[in-house]
A and B are shown apart, each in its own frame.
Chain A
Amino acid sequence: MKQPILEITNLHAGVEGKQILKGVNLRITEGEVHAIMGPNGSGKSTLAAILAGREGYSITEGQIHYYGKDLLEMSPEARAREGVFLAFQYPVEIPGVNTTYFLKAAVNEVRKHNGLSEYDAMEFLNLVKEKMKILHLPEDFLKRPVNAGFSGGEKKRNEIFQMVVLDPKLAILDETDSGLDIDALKVVSAGVNKLKRQDNAQLVITHYQRLLDYIIPDFVHVLFNGEIVRTGGKELALELEERGYDWILKEELQTA
């Protein structure tokens, strides 16, 4: 029997006194790919940030459980070590810190947490070399400082590369497709699909349907005004692509 990985119950949250999420419910089970779609300002990125543990949001109601544990009680680094991964919409530049060093530190934090021995430089290089090929990353990539001077596409590929290396239980992709051309989109999607297994899950947040041509979701949720207003299969994404968000909003208003 498959285990639930993430259970969000009646989540209300906001920032600086402004209510953004108004009762989100979401349950993600092992082996599933979920997509959250919605217009700008619907609360998609807020949800991603809260899941990763960014400060500055106040949770006014509701709960989040991750493998049965209270996720909101965990520090961001504890979440990461337990297998939560957020691919940032806007990856941060860290000049002076090279990518190998950074990623090795991250991988070893997870290994320490799991009671495993830390990788030395050679072991780590062997691990990442294979994975770099998947993402079509250039050789010198590991030597460059984290995201510093990277193009938008390179930054996004670096996020997915980190995800592939860290092999999380729950991967959250926050608008990873924004700013990517079609070739980069394919490369990134291939990376994400490679990660998919029966014992993990992915939560793909996107504004556009086109990413879902390459990453096929089991469930599509429409987030609007801080609530999930509709859930369906992958065909819901196509319908949104064709008709926009307006028709859902109209139906919402009628039923309200």
Chain B
Amino acid sequence: MTTATETIEGFVKSEYKYGFFTDIESDSAPPGLNEDIVQFISTKKNEPEFLLEWRLKAYRHWLKMEEPKWPKVSYPKIDFQKIVYYSAPKRKGDGPKSLDEVDPKLLETYEKLGIPLRERGRLAGVAVDAVFDSVSVATTFKGTLAAKGVIFCSFSEAVHEHPDLIKKYLGSVVPYTDNFYAALNSAVFSDGSFCFIPKGVRCPMELSTYFRINAANTGQFERTLIVAEESSHVSYLEGCTAPMRDENQLHAAVVELVALDNAEIKYSTVQNWYPGDEEGRGGIYNFVTKRGLCKGRKSKISWTQVETGSAITWKYPSVVLQGENSTGEFYSVAVTNNYQQADTGTKMVHVGKNTRSTIISKGISAKHGQNSYRGLVKIQKGATGSRNFSQCDSLLIGNKCGAHTFPYIEVKNTSSSVEHEATTSKIGEDQIFYCNSRGIETQDAVNMIVNGFCKEVFKELPMEFAVEAQKLLGVSLEGSVG
């Protein structure tokens, strides 16, 4: 006789369908980190002097820092000297001028991932920047966007084409001194995406970056910088996958968002890095710093994340609400299955008057998964009349997993209000049986309950990705019938 608990657990056996590896010749730095490597990366990318200086300052600062010990995650010590900090698919000549020059193997890889880069098969209405290991390999719809004055290109390209913008905004939201991984990223970041939406422009399509880690023992350190000028609007989505490997791989990204007066940035993430196997072997360490600055009055930054992958997730997409009447939002679904660990949440720092923030966090744990919500709501003295609403819900599947909530609230004035609600529930065998007795199979029942649990977050995703996210969640939590 199998118990219903075992049956439910049977369903959380996931199969990772993006675990393939592309055999492509790459141009890599030797493993290890020192000033020469930083110099090597900068030279490889033919960077201006200011950037090399900035990298070196970051590196020297990083040397003095220690890895954060406070997250509720455990993993063996990372040997930073064993990581390869730069790996790029080999190019003919100076790099691809057009898609015709991109290695067909790369195009195939993205096609397999469901991200066709070729003109004909492109996702309608979505411009994609594809980042493979350390470099951006292609950006679609550049022409269409340029007509509107929108800049969407790889970070490296932006360094050359728009050095003033980079100089002005790089590190303006996440300084290299911010934290251990942000400092590391600042020293060795290799590529990423850059978006600039000029004043008064509503970006005509979704922008998206698709990150793919391919090479072994390689870390991926990319930076994304999005600047939305006055009264502009942009919706941006990032997706991530990696091959299945027994070793852990490090991904330490930095994302900076800047919204000026009346601008709105909507940043959505569907994170599906390889999570490791059923025994907890392998998987990506996803140690990411994401922060948005609502610099202007009435600006708005909204983070939506669906985190189903990675062995360990450590990320807190945050908003600094500097402009008066600005709004920050954080909507999150984080799934930890098998031996995955997640310590994720947000920081809402209210600086300006009458600022608003909303936090909706949904954690789902199955098998031995450990899921922590960690959030800070800080209302500074000058942020009078500000409001925050936080809701943190946890859903447990089976009885070996864990859910934890660490809310930190600091309010420094008397005219602001903060609300925090939290619940923990469990998919019980009673619920499953109830669905079964109405003709609904266990797998469909689990999906139905999980999707119901997450719907407040899914409705924040752009439509076509909401459907994807629902499917992804289904795949992450399903498997053979126990």
B452 contacts across to A, CB distance below 8 A: 94-98, 101, 145
A113 → chain B closest CB, angstroms = 7
Please measure, in the bound complex, the distance between the C-alpha atom of A155 and the C-alpha atom of B425, giving whole angstroms.
Answer: 20
Pick the residue among A55, A79, A92, A98 that contacts B4 (CB under 8 A): A55
The answer to whether B164 has its CB under 8 Å from any CB of chain A is no
Interface positions of B from 424 to 441, Cβ below 8 Å from A: 425, 428-431, 433-441
Could you tell me if A80 and B448 are in contact, using CB atoms closer than 8 angstroms? no
Please measure, in the bound complex, the distance between the C-alpha atom of A58 and the C-alpha atom of B1, giving whole angstroms.
Answer: 8
Please measure, in the bound complex, the distance between the C-alpha atom of A162 and the C-alpha atom of B440, giving whole angstroms.
Answer: 14
Could you tell me if B448 and A105 are in contact, using CB atoms closer than 8 angstroms? yes
B447 → chain A closest CB, angstroms = 10
A137 → chain B closest CB, angstroms = 17
Interface size class of B (residues with CB under 8 A): 20 to 34
Could you tell me if B449 and A76 are in contact, using CB atoms closer than 8 angstroms? no
Could you tell me if A109 and B4 are in contact, using CB atoms closer than 8 angstroms? no
Query: B423 — nearest CB in chain A belongs to which residue?
Result: A95
Please measure, in the bound complex, the distance between the C-alpha atom of A95 and the C-alpha atom of B438, giving whole angstroms.
Answer: 17
The answer to whether A77 has its CB under 8 Å from any CB of chain B is yes
Please measure, in the bound complex, the distance between the C-alpha atom of A96 and the C-alpha atom of B450, giving whole angstroms.
Answer: 8
The answer to whether B169 has its CB under 8 Å from any CB of chain A is no
A145 contacts across to B, CB distance below 8 A: 452
B440 contacts across to A, CB distance below 8 A: 77, 105-106, 109
B112 → chain A closest CB, angstroms = 32
Please measure, in the bound complex, the distance between the C-alpha atom of A56 and the C-alpha atom of B433, giving whole angstroms.
Answer: 12
A80 contacts across to B, CB distance below 8 A: 436-439
A96-B452, A145-B452 are contacts. A55–B438 as well, Cβ < 8 Å? Answer: no
Q: Residue-by-residue, is B1-32 near A (CB-CB < 8 Å gives 1, otherwise 0)?
A: 11110010000000000000000000000000
B438 contacts across to A, CB distance below 8 A: 80, 102-103, 105-106, 109, 162, 166
The answer to whether B444 has its CB under 8 Å from any CB of chain A is yes
- Judged by DSSP, the binding face of B is helix
Pick the residue among B2, B429, B436, B449 that contacts A97 (CB under 8 A): B449
Interface size class of A (residues with CB under 8 A): 20 to 34
A86 contacts across to B, CB distance below 8 A: 437
A203 → chain B closest CB, angstroms = 15
The answer to whether B455 has its CB under 8 Å from any CB of chain A is yes
Could you tell me if A113 and B449 are in contact, using CB atoms closer than 8 angstroms? no
Could you tell me if B453 and A96 are in contact, using CB atoms closer than 8 angstroms? yes
A20 → chain B closest CB, angstroms = 16
B439 contacts across to A, CB distance below 8 A: 77, 80-81, 106, 109-110, 113
Pick the residue among B433, B434, B453 that contacts A55 (CB under 8 A): B433
Q: Residue-by-residue, is A72-83 near B (CB-CB < 8 Å gives 1, otherwise 0)?
A: 000111011100
B437 contacts across to A, CB distance below 8 A: 52-54, 76-77, 79-80, 85-86, 88
Query: B455 — nearest CB in chain A belongs to which residue?
Result: A96
B449 contacts across to A, CB distance below 8 A: 94, 96-97
A153 contacts across to B, CB distance below 8 A: none
Please measure, in the bound complex, the distance between the C-alpha atom of A109 and the C-alpha atom of B3, giving whole angstroms.
Answer: 24
Please measure, in the bound complex, the distance between the C-alpha atom of A94 and the C-alpha atom of B425, giving whole angstroms.
Answer: 10
Pick the residue among A92, A95, A96, A103 that contacts B434 (CB under 8 A): A92
Please measure, in the bound complex, the distance between the C-alpha atom of A95 and the C-alpha atom of B428, giving whole angstroms.
Answer: 12
Pick the residue among B3, B431, B451 that contacts A92 (CB under 8 A): B431
A77-B441, A106-B440, A110-B439 are contacts. A54–B433 as well, Cβ < 8 Å? Answer: yes
Could you tell me if B4 and A101 are in contact, using CB atoms closer than 8 angstroms? no
A55-B4, A56-B1, A96-B455 are contacts. A91–B436 as well, Cβ < 8 Å? Answer: no
Could you tell me if A76 and B1 are in contact, using CB atoms closer than 8 angstroms? no
Please measure, in the bound complex, the distance between the C-alpha atom of A79 and the C-alpha atom of B439, giving whole angstroms.
Answer: 7
Could you tell me if B3 and A95 are in contact, using CB atoms closer than 8 angstroms? no
Interface positions of B from 70 to 92, Cβ below 8 Å from A: none
Q: Residue-by-residue, is B387-412 near A (CB-CB < 8 Å gives 1, otherwise 0)?
A: 00000000000000000000000000
Query: B444 — nearest CB in chain A belongs to which residue?
Result: A105
Please measure, in the bound complex, the distance between the C-alpha atom of A55 and the C-alpha atom of B436, giving whole angstroms.
Answer: 11
Query: B434 — nearest CB in chain A belongs to which residue?
Result: A92
Pick the residue among A76, A101, A162 that contacts B448 (CB under 8 A): A101
Query: A55 — nearest CB in chain B belongs to which residue?
Result: B4
Pick the residue among B425, B429, B448 that contacts A102 (CB under 8 A): B448
Please measure, in the bound complex, the distance between the C-alpha atom of A52 and the C-alpha atom of B437, giving whole angstroms.
Answer: 7
A46 → chain B closest CB, angstroms = 14
Query: A76 — nearest CB in chain B belongs to which residue?
Result: B436
B448 contacts across to A, CB distance below 8 A: 94, 97, 101-102, 105
Could you tell me if B433 and A94 are in contact, using CB atoms closer than 8 angstroms? no
Could you tell me if A88 and B436 are in contact, using CB atoms closer than 8 angstroms? no
B469 → chain A closest CB, angstroms = 16
Query: B438 — nearest CB in chain A belongs to which residue?
Result: A106
A94 contacts across to B, CB distance below 8 A: 431, 434-435, 448-449, 452
Please measure, in the bound complex, the distance between the C-alpha atom of A196 and the C-alpha atom of B342, giving whole angstroms.
Answer: 54
Pick the residue among B4, B430, B436, B444 that contacts A75 (CB under 8 A): B436
Pick the residue among B3, B430, B435, B436 that contacts A53 (CB under 8 A): B436
Query: A83 — nearest CB in chain B belongs to which residue?
Result: B439
Please measure, in the bound complex, the distance between the C-alpha atom of A173 and the C-alpha atom of B292, giving whole angstroms.
Answer: 56
Pick the residue among A58, A85, A95 that contacts B425 (CB under 8 A): A95
A56 contacts across to B, CB distance below 8 A: 1, 3-4
Please measure, in the bound complex, the distance between the C-alpha atom of A56 and the C-alpha atom of B425, giving whole angstroms.
Answer: 23
Question: Can you add 6 more A-B contacts, CB < 8 Å, to A88-B437, A96-B452, A97-B449?
Answer: A54-B433, A77-B439, A80-B436, A88-B434, A94-B449, A145-B452
19 CB-based A-B contacts, threshold 8 Å: A52-B437, A55-B3, A56-B1, A77-B441, A80-B439, A88-B437, A92-B433, A92-B434, A95-B425, A95-B452, A96-B451, A96-B453, A102-B448, A105-B440, A105-B444, A106-B439, A106-B440, A109-B438, A162-B438
The chain A residues found within 8 Å of chain B, CB to CB, are 52-56, 58, 75-77, 79-81, 85-86, 88, 91-98, 101-103, 105-106, 109-110, 113, 145, 162, 166
Closest 7 CB pairs of A and B: A96-B452, A109-B439, A80-B439, A76-B436, A97-B452, A106-B438, A92-B434
